[in-house]
Amino acid sequence: MLIVNLTKIKTIFLIKKYTVNQKALWNDFIVKAKNATFLFNRDFMDYHKDRFKDHSLLVFKDEKLVAVLPANKTDNTLHSHQGLTYGGLVFTDKLKFNTVLHVFKAVLKHLDKLNIKRLNIKLIPSIYTAIPNDELSYLMYLTKAVLTRRDALAVIDNKSIPKVSKDRVEGYKRGLKQGLVIKEETNFDAFWNTILIPNLKAKHNANPVHSLTEITSLKQEFAKRIRQFNVYKDEVLVAGTTIFESELVAHSQYISGNNQKNELGSLDYLHYYLINSVFKDKRYFDFGISNENNGTQVNKGLQYWKEGFGARTITQDFYSVPTNSYKMLDSVMI
């Protein structure tokens, strides 16, 4: 715990490292935050607590919690939690820019005094916040943070969706002719074991980010937020997708089909149905990235497929901030 006194604004911020006895306080704050989703709930964050050294922070002003930072620590670097897709400083819509500025300054100063040299931040994409949320982007500029990565997300805006391509419509019609059946499931075993894991091993020599045990456990905690949709041909599983659903966004966390997916049109059929039926009232449908090699290249075929549904590009930025750059924020407000 460190008390940071910012004398110029006569405000004292109390910064504490998160402990498990603050779980209820943390989760209650996340529900009210303007730039948070269920991924910041401790029941989600802690599913992989054995993989990361948690060093999340709580920031208090006048004894009231005003911000949190989901984070983990490696050596002398604090990371916007590496087990989450996005992160950064989380706060409510009641905080105006001046306070956000000084909260961020207090956090950097706190880390600097702990001899933590850098703060790595992965910003939350704009589609996940209901109101403007670019304070951190501006603060990255002021502190001369280094842009270390920029990913391109393929996103459908259901308020202005472009026309679906002929290829995707034809794929959907193939699925109809093949008599494909879509079912929402509560069990992940078949999709994980017969399609997702074998495909990731064959194509990328990788495993899903979430093990079968982990995704099953998370489903139990977030039954309405994590949803599995499978496609069957003559009662045989041929494709599926795992959706992470937040207030504004339906995000395809995993998408995979068997080696007949093109012949059957299974993935086209599934996503046409999800976009136009299940999630038609959701503001955005997020296919996620098609990036490879740390964001520097794009899988052309995958991007073409997503854009065929009307998805277009938004970006997510990753920054590295020297913690001693808090000094650069002294004279921002004039």
In tens, the pLDDT along 178-221 reads: 999 999 999 999 999 999 999 999 988 999 999 999 999 999 99
Strands (E), 137-261: 146-157, 181-185, 226-233, 236-245, 249-257
Q: How confident is the model at residue 162 (pLDDT cuts 50, 70, 90)?
A: confident
Q: Yes or no: say if 251 and 245 are a contact pair by the CB < 8 Å rule.
A: yes
What is the b/e burial string over 106-127, where b = at least 16 CB atoms within 10 angstroms of the residue's CB? bbbbbbbebebebbbbbbbbbb
Statement: residue 288 has pLDDT above 50: yes
Which pLDDT does position 7 carry in this prediction?
A: 43
In tens, the pLDDT along 40-71 reads: 999 999 998 999 999 999 999 999 999 999 99
Residue where the block lists tokens 């079912």: 183
Statement: residue 2 has pLDDT above 80: no
Joined tokens for residue 65: 């919690």
In tens, the pLDDT along 205-262 reads: 999 999 999 999 999 999 999 999 999 999 999 999 999 999 999 999 999 999 999 9
DSSP string, 69-99: E-EEEETTEEEE-TTSSSBS-EE-TT--HHH
Q: How confident is the model at residue 302 (pLDDT cuts 50, 70, 90)?
A: very high
DSSP 123: B
Q: How confident is the model at residue 9 (pLDDT cuts 50, 70, 90)?
A: very low
Domains of the chain: 2-150+316-329 (3.40.630.30), 160-282 (3.40.630.30)
Q: Yes or no: say if 180 and 232 are a contact pair by the CB < 8 Å rule.
A: yes
Looking at the DSSP bridge assignments, the partners of residue 16 are 58
Per-residue pLDDT, averaged over 300-305, amounts to 97
Strand order in the sheet with 90-91: 2-6, 11-17, 57-61, 64-69, 90-91
| pTM of the complete model | 0.93
Q: Which residues contact 321 (CB under 8 A, 6 or more apart)?
A: 108, 118, 119, 120, 121, 140, 143, 145, 146
Task: Give the residue from 187, 278, 287, 182 showing the smallest Cα distance to 237.
Answer: 182
Which pLDDT does position 10 carry in this prediction?
A: 56
Q: CA 83 to CA 87: how far, in whole Å?
A: 10
Query: What's the mean per-residue pLDDT of the chain?
Result: 95
